[in-house]
Structure 1
Amino acid sequence: MTFSATYVQAWREGRFPSARVPDVVERLSGIPLYLVHGRYDMTFPASLVPLTPCTDAVVLDEAGHMAHIDQPEAWLAAVSRFL
């Protein structure tokens, strides 16, 4: 596997569409969603969890954006309960 930086020029020129979806809550409504989230996630703050159309949500303490790495046992337990 090799990596290249061929995307950099397009990125610098603003030719990449935004990864953010402006109507994410609307797009997710009606879809059963189980959220396992790290309390210290700086990418998607835990304060936004109540705004999502979740069927259920678990916020893991002492975990960040990669909750499955930060708290693997707690993450696996939460996913197992859901399944």
Structure 2
Amino acid sequence: MASTEPTPDPRADALQALDTARRRREKAEREEEAAVVRAREAGASWARIGAVYGLTKQGAQQRFKRPAEPAPTTPSAGDRDDS
């Protein structure tokens, strides 16, 4: 008698495992970013945060510091389109 169970698809299984790993990594990155924010709010220096990762102060800042909002720009007189 033949089995009615579907044949395992190793490709689908591997892709599912890859997707699961991606979602876990993204969650871990969000948790890590939140922990850095909490540490900074609690007074931890960038040097201390860097030490946790084996980085310098500058390395920690480059890895975790959010980019500053760009300053608003206003067109100069030469940039205006008065046509």
| Bigger helix share | 2
TM exceeding 0.5:
no
TM class by smaller structure: under 0.3
Greater fraction of residues in strand: 1
TM-score, normalisation: structure 2: 0.24
